[in-house]
Structure 1
Amino acid sequence: MDDPRRVAVIGSGPAGAAAAQTLADAGFSVTVFERDMAIGGRTQTYRADGYQLDTGAAFITNFYPRVWGLATTLGYESEICQLNRVTGLSHDGRMATLDIGSPWSFFSFPFVKLVDKLKMLLWTLGLFFKRKTLDIGQPSTLVAYDSETVSDFVKRTLNERILDFLVRPGIEPFWYFSCDDVSAGLAAGLTAHAPGARFYYFKDGIDRVSHHLLAKTTVKTGTTVKSVMSRVGGVRLSIEGEGTTFEQDFAAVIIATTANVAVELIGDAWTDLGVDASCHAFIETQRYVANIHVAFIIERLAERPQISSLFPVGPGRHSLAALSFHGVKDKNAVSMSHELISVYLSDEESWRLMTLDDETTSRRCYELAQTVYPNLPDAYSVFKITRRPYAIPIHEVGRYRKAALVNQGQKTTSSSVLFCGDYLATATVDGAIHSGQLAAETLIQRVL
């Protein structure tokens, strides 16, 4: 008889790592399969030539309760440093700064009239008083706002200028999708925690979260699971690794990949594996935004901008999502003559450039950066280009409600296959961790 505690996890990002850690702590025998040579998934950190670069998510906030809870449990609090979150907003050739935690900065912001600032303040306070019931990592708490888009919500309750100059800059530069396309649940959850929000980074790279979570787990990197098949008493995985293809049996598997990869892994075996029809439909219909992130090495700026990032703002969609200055968190900043900057493209621009060569892509990215920050030097070298066609799940209207139902349904399923990932929460490190923990707890309760 198979050991019911022998479980596979596919994917080593925060969701898979959290699932593996939760299972291992409960005495399960866990094997994690990761197709890349490095762990972390879309939170991988790239290190070369004395620099380090978070290729995807690059910060956490003080309202990520699971990340902070694990920091205490696993002992990585000392690796977390507070980040300067004074941002620059560029509009019509002008740049203004905004410190999300400073009332003075907010009321000095030039692109919005005083009456609109007062409207935004009252709106924010209304959501702030509901903050204990709004958790962006838990979709069931966001369902009440899941009937319209962010844009429609803000235009209905505030106005379009507030949307363009205050709400969009808090969402679109970080998630790359448009407020026209995503559920108001995201805006409600974020705004509720905005007063007093603080931001942090990992001094040794954000992939340290996954490393800490997987410290006591067997991880097979450079190993690709090709398919998941049903068998009596569990599942069978078809695996490619170390130059060979083989099969391996487990009592259960947690698929902690993007939704599109989950679809490829299951193929036509959804019914055979006992996956609920609503779960199947949810995963197959999940859409993603693309992102291209290019990091450049430039001569250290003589006059360092007192901002961490710079975003274009105003009506319409922008090709550039964000320009980030890594000098604010570079531990070698004093001794090095050069520094890193990052250019993040919007979804539409990323798709336009996705298949173009690296030289064309990097040149376009740097040109966009210079349009919002002309003081950048003309000379640069490319440090790293990251192309992700499936960068971030789009939390469309109704998806939070459906995600909550899928999460609830997985608790009662008898299937040997469970799913987790940021698409079943909100696209944050904390949401991914919560999803992984939920999947693991379901298996634990089933066995115990």
Structure 2
Amino acid sequence: MKKKLASVTLLLLSFAAGAQNVATTSNQPTVDAPAYNKWSIELNGGVGKPLRAMSPGYSTATLNPFHADLGVRYMFSPTFGVKLDVGYDQFQERDDTPNFESRYVRTSLQGVINLGRALNFETWTNTIGILAHGGFGVSQISTETGYGGQDYMGHGIMGLTGQIKLSNRIALTGDLTGIVNGRQNWNFDGMGRTRTGAFDGVLLNASVGLTFYLGKNEKHADWYSVENERLSKLEDRVTTIETGLIDTDKDGVADLYDLEPNTVSGVAVNTKGQAVDANQNGVPDELESYLEKTYGQNGKGATNNTVEELINGGYVNVYFDFNSSKPTNASLSGVDFLVKYLKNNPGKSADIIGYSDEIGSSNYNTELSRKRAEAVKAVAVNAGIDASRLNVIANGEDTSVNKNSKEARQIVRRVTFQVK
């Protein structure tokens, strides 16, 4: 009989491996393949109660410890999968009944249906789920009392598992499972034979436990909704389009296609949103022409003076996101403006002055302003400006705006320049 049990167990394991290979073959990753994890490990503990096949006068406690099971589950899709698990139960007498002790060990291959996905639980909750599972397996009852041996049999198993999602990696579970043994020869207490041996053995398990999700993706199949993911991706695309169609600098080129989304208002731009700067001196041609006419000056010296006035007047800035020391892509042209000026004027140097908003402690914000200035200096040095011509100053918090205004705080999270 032991050889038969080993053979059946090997058959079940082979079937599980074959099912995995089929799943791997039929679910080769594609561009549009759903990105969810499929493997999980289940660990449970609780109580077990033999409902039938006990000898006269023998009985277990209503809530009889000890029960435990360990399983590995693979989901072919968010609604269907398989699991291979092993279970262990230990039975002993209740008070005022004859002594006995027996053990029940099983291994089962089960199909799993995610009722939460099948019933569209995602329309009202993202943290509660239900799994239905059922299948077949082999089992053994052993005892040191009574007949003092082992009884081998097959069984059918079916149950429900409630789930509460604790995180993307762990779920708390509660399970209720029924097992019906076939060809059970001895009662669960081991003190007498069953009446028919056909389907006399009935066992009920109740347990709580944890499910651990494995894989590199964010969600497991238990919590993956195809419809929700489709709507989420569609919403992201719409948001991207809406954001991209905004024209921040009002130059007629949407930010989605604008390589320079912070050009000076009113100056001419090319089809890529870049200000027209034929002499490559960092000043848009229209602005350069206007300044020369306004100041009544001509020539290269006049242009350099007007550029210096723009820089020192605070019109050239580099901006940062909240709590960040990385310049925003849109404001890197401010560094480019300074770099071009310093290359055209080798005798000039510049102070790089960092600021922060008022959110956070003063000491932290001073250090953040220094890091912002250092980051801008690094960009300028990498662009070819000698580090000795650049002096970093940490001015800390700029208190000139209303700190409760999100838009105003964005303005003061900046680096400015003073050339000399």
Provide TM-score, normalisation by structure 1: 0.18
Larger strand proportion of the pair: 2
Structure with bigger gyration radius? 2
Larger helix proportion of the pair: 1
